[in-house]
A = this chain, B = another copy of it.
Amino acid sequence: MPDPAILPRIQASFDRQTMMRTFGATMLAAADGRCVIRAPILPTVRQQQGAAHAALAFGLGDSAAGYAALTLLPEEFEVMTVEMKINLLAPAVGEALEATGEVMRSGRRITVVRAEVVALDGEHRRSVALLQGTMIPVEAR
Q: Could you list which residues of chain A lie within 8 angstroms of chain B, going by C-beta atoms? A: 13-14, 16-22, 43-49, 53-56, 58-59, 62-63, 78, 80-91, 104-105, 109-110, 112, 114, 127, 130, 132-134, 136, 141
Contact = CB atoms under 8 A, between A and B. Distances in A.
Contact of A82 (B22, B87, B132): B87
A83 B134 contact: yes
A90 B54 CA distance: 22
**How many copies of the shown chain assemble into the complex?**
4
Contacts of A55: 19, 55-56, 58-59, 62-63
A112 B85 contact: no
A132 B132 contact: yes
Nearest to A128: B105
A67 to B, nearest CB: 10
B58 A58 contact: yes
Contact of A130 (B58, B90, B104): B104
A46 B19 contact: yes
A88 B78 contact: no
